[in-house]
């Protein structure tokens, strides 16, 4: 078994890990980057996450009524695979062309606090390092429902985006963001989509008006929702799979050609043998870290989904900044510095949110002003009419005393972009009036602020 001595070992080729590897490599550090699969160079996002799924959103929008759903979908999957292959190759080349970085492809396993064995096809390699960064990401959770895990029609999100076969009937278990995105995508491609959700409400963390507007969009595209549906059994038949659920004391079922388990993702820590390194995990298997992403071993860091934080690529990137600041900077940067972190549900049109919703703002003790308009009624937003996408609404929650923005929900064309402007305004305490009176290009989506923020609906006293 060969041995490599490195300054830094990065386990996992995700966004945060590759950023740390590249930055430290450029500074002359000897870096080893270990990734278990040659199909995952670059991590989840460019291979099985953000890039292919958002590309599917784009392709699904382009399908015309006269286009064969199956042919259009198969062509879309081929083109997306070409795209992800380019991203994967680019990530590999960036590491292989760096003189101070060694890329190993194989499963990593800790044998001590500073030692990791990497099982490569050409032979195992032992890596010792002063600093170790774990960035192994997360994987889909398949719930323990009788018959589900053994079903030949069970698919994960990764399975779906790799198959050229469009399911005629897709049943999605779970109405979280992943489930809703796939419901929108496959509904637009032409599948008959049914979403089963155990909770009484879908998007229950949003204000009721925003959640209902979002569901109206999805229902308008043919997606069927069944709430309070507790899936109890999955039965394979010759021509279909029956997903059995209980609702209001009744036993019902729905037939499917594919069953997507969209019930969350779990940190990938199994097989890492973290016990040998003295690294603690929590009950979900996530690596326990402090605000500077240090594990129970101060020379070992955990970035991205594996540390149990928000499962977003941009959080993994910011994690890398925290670690790099600790290793090479002032050491003051921490995850607790983050504020106004936006989120986007990539349906059509997208739903982007940041900060408090109306209910949360009141509960936090704020006197609240609300500004809200339907996209179709925003005179200063002709872009929505130009691109023929006038569905949705824009809503701001504002502090009545300071005029600062407490939160926003944007269900509109370009919401995934304009929410970043709102988040920046919140971080720098830009008032609603300043955002309302700013000069924006025309026609653009940001100029909706000129109209929406001029419509203050009401002021409320704080809750309690």
Q: Residues near 435 by Cβ (< 8 Å), separated by ≥ 6?
A: 405, 422, 425, 449, 453
175 is in an annotated binding site: yes
176 is in an annotated binding site: yes
Give the residue carrying structure tokens 């809503």. Answer: 395
Residue 148 annotated as binding?
no
The reply to whether 355 sits in an annotated binding site is no
State yes or no: 305 annotated in a binding site. Answer: yes
Helix segments in 249-344, DSSP class H = 274-277, 313-328
Determine if residue 206 is labeled as part of a ligand binding site: no
**Three-state SS annotation for 328-376:** HCCCCCCHHHCCCCCEEECCCCCEEEEECCHHHHHHCCCCEEEEEEEHH
Alpha carbons 115 and 9: distance in angstroms, whole number: 9
Q: 5, 58, 429, 442: which one is catalytic?
A: 442
90, two tokens:
């680019």
> What residue has token string 């300054």?
7
Is 369 annotated to bind a ligand? Reply is no
96 is in an annotated binding site: no
174 is annotated as contributing to ligand binding: yes
Q: Is 264 annotated as a binding residue?
A: yes
Q: What span, in angstroms and rounded, lies between the C-alpha atoms of 245 and 242?
A: 10
Nearest-angstrom CA–CA distance, 173 and 383 = 36
Structure tokens that stand for 20 in this block: 């740390």
Q: How many Å is the Cα radius of gyration of the chain?
A: 24
Q: Is 242 annotated as a binding residue?
A: no
Q: What is the spatial distance between Cα 368 and Cα 365, in angstroms, rounded to a whole number?
A: 9
Q: Is 178 a known ligand-binding residue? A: yes
Q: Is 385 a catalytic residue?
A: no
Instruction: List all residues 6 or more positions away from 441 whose beta carbon is below 8 Å from its beta carbon.
Output: 447
Tell whether residue 255 is among the known ligand binding residues.
no
Q: Catalytic positions, please?
A: 442
> Binding site for FAD: which residues?
54, 136-138
> Binding site for NAD(+): which residues?
174-181, 197, 264, 305
> Binding site: which residues?
54, 136-138, 174-181, 197, 264, 305
């Amino acid at each position: 078994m060969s041995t490599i001595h490195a300054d830094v070992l990065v386990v996992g080729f995700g966004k945060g890990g590759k950023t740390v590897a590249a930055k430290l490599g450029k500074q002359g550090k000897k870096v080893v980057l270990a990734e278990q699969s040659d199909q995952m160079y670059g991590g989840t996002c460019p291979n099985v996450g953000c890039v292919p799924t958002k590309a599917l959103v784009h392709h699904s929008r382009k399908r015309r009524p006269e286009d064969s759903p199956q042919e259009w979908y198969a062509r879309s999957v081929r083109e997306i695979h070409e795209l992800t292959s380019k991203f994967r190759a680019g990530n590999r080349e960036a590491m292989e062309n760096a003189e101070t970085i060694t890329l190993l492809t194989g499963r990593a396993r800790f044998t001590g606090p500073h030692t990791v064995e990497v099982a490569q096809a050409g032979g195992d390699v032992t890596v010792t390092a002063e600093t170790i960064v774990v960035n192994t990401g997360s994987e889909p959770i398949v719930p323990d429902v009788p018959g589900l895990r053994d079903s030949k029609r069970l698919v994960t999100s990764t399975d779906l985006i790799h198959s050229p076969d469009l399911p005629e009937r897709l049943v999605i278990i779970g109405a979280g963001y992943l489930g809703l995105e796939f419901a929108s995508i496959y509904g637009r491609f032409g599948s008959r989509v049914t979403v089963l959700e155990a909770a009484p409400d879908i998007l229950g963390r949003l204000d009721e008006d925003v959640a209902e507007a979002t569901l109206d969009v999805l229902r308008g595209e043919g997606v069927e929702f069944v709430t309070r549906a507790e899936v109890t059994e999955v039965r394979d038949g010759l021509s279909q799979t029956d997903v059995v659920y209980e609702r209001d004391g009744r036993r019902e079922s729905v037939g499917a050609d594919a069953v997507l388990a969209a019930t969350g993702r779990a940190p990938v820590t199994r097989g890492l043998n973290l016990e040998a390194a003295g690294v603690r995990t929590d009950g979900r298997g996530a690596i326990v870290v402090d605000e500077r992403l240090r594990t129970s071993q101060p020379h070992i860091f955990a970035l991205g989904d594996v540390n149990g934080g928000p499962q977003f690529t941009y959080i993994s990137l910011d994690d890398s900044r925290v670690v790099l600041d600790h290793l090479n900077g002032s050491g003051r940067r921490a995850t607790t510095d983050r504020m106004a972190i936006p989120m986007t549900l990539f349906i059509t049109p997208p739903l982007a949110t940041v900060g408090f919703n109306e209910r949360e703002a009141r509960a936090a003790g704020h006197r609240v002003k609300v500004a809200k308009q339907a996209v179709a009624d925003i005179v200063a937003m002709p872009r929505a009419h130009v691109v023929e996408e006038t569905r949705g609404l824009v809503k701001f929650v504002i502090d009545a005393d300071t005029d600062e923005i407490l939160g926003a929900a944007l269900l509109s064309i370009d919401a995934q972009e304009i929410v970043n402007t709102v988040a920046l305004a919140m971080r720098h305490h830009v008032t609603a009036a300043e955002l309302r009176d700013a000069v924006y290009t025309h026609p653009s989506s940001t100029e909706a602020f000129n109209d929406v923020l001029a419509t203050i609906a009401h002021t409320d006293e704080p809750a309690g």
